[in-house]
Structure 1
């Protein structure tokens, strides 16, 4: 009987040590996560500080998360692209104009839609301009990637509309987004 008791006691002691370490380190991990979020958001919304996440319960299914700062918002969006969902962070000033835009995730066609990750010329079309963007009107599409371009415009429009309170067409395209 004593032989079985020793491993059980060792297991309980190890579990207690693990829980104690977790309790000690959890606040540090949360602080680091908040610090990283503040840094990333400040890159997308220059001059913004002290970002806090707001609960979002609106009807626009493109909005995933909202981070508020004194100068504006950083809004995480998820829209349907040509091949899969496109996740973007959009910095929006309090007047609804776009301060920054970063595509976080996408699985678009290599050489075509994937250009949206790094094409400064394409992404800069949205910066410091109006609050509504339409490919073919005030936004030039990426060559060979019209669906991706429209998806990113939709993401930016959703973010801007959140701040201004405007209605935005978040209807599906023929590709599902």
Structure 2
């Protein structure tokens, strides 16, 4: 019985030390990770609109219960939504810009996709992007045949973002 108690205390001490070390590492790396994510996001915004500067993108305060909309930026007459959706596996992170006047999709940039290579990753390709551009974000948008589990959440998220455009004006 004494041996079990010693092993239990030893395990508790080792677990506490490991937990403390992980918490310390998280505290030290969280600001660096956040800064890198912001830098990546700004680079993606500039990739969408190369003639702009970082200061042209104004972050809009957005309060919603939406789980897909991560951030919203305003650039001229456009609202740019940073969105993350689940798909077949890991889902897709993308930016979509919607004109605030007529709700037409001005630009689309898929930043990451963790779904099946070949099918689900087609949301990263220009063909999918081109199928969205200059269409109303309120209408039914085309999905990718054979990859609807990956592309349908993207289309649904764009439609969802469209419902917030009037509210953000």
The bucket for the TM-score relative to the shorter chain is 0.5 to 0.7
1:44 pairs with one of 43, 48, 52: 48
Supply the distance in 1 between the matched residues of 2:111 and 2:150 (Cα, whole angstroms): 14
Q: Distance in 1 between matches of 2:100 and 2:49?
A: 11
- CA distance in 1 between counterparts of 2:96 and 2:113 reads 15
Which residue does the alignment assign to 1:175? none
96, 100, 107: which is aligned to 1:100?
107
**Structure 1 or 2: larger helix share?**
2
TM-score, normalising length: structure 2? 0.65
SS at match of 1:157: helix
Residues 98 and 137 of structure 2 are in contact (CA less than 8 Å); yes or no, is this contact kept in structure 1? Answer: no
Q: Within 5 A, what are the aligned runs for 1:3-82?
A: 33=39, 37=42, 40-44=44-48, 50-82=56-88
Distance 1:152 1:105 in 2: 12
Cα distance per residue 1:111-153 (max 9 Å; x no partner): 11111111x222212111112243xxx41x3232111110110
Deviation, structure 1 residue 44: 2.8
Query: Larger relative CO (CA 8 A, sep 6+): 1 or 2?
Result: 1
Secondary structure of the structure 2 residue equivalent to 1:130: coil
Structure 1 residue 42, shift from structure 2 partner = 4.6
Structure 2 match to 1:144: 146
The answer for the alignment partner of 1:19 in structure 2 is none
Please give the secondary structure, in 2, of the residue aligned with 1:67.
strand
Count, aligned residues: 130
Asked if the contact 1:45–1:92 (Cα under 8 Å) also holds between the matched residues in 2, the reply is no
Task: Give the aligned CA root-mean-square deviation in angstroms.
Answer: 2.8
Change beyond 3 A, Cα 1:97–1:42: farther
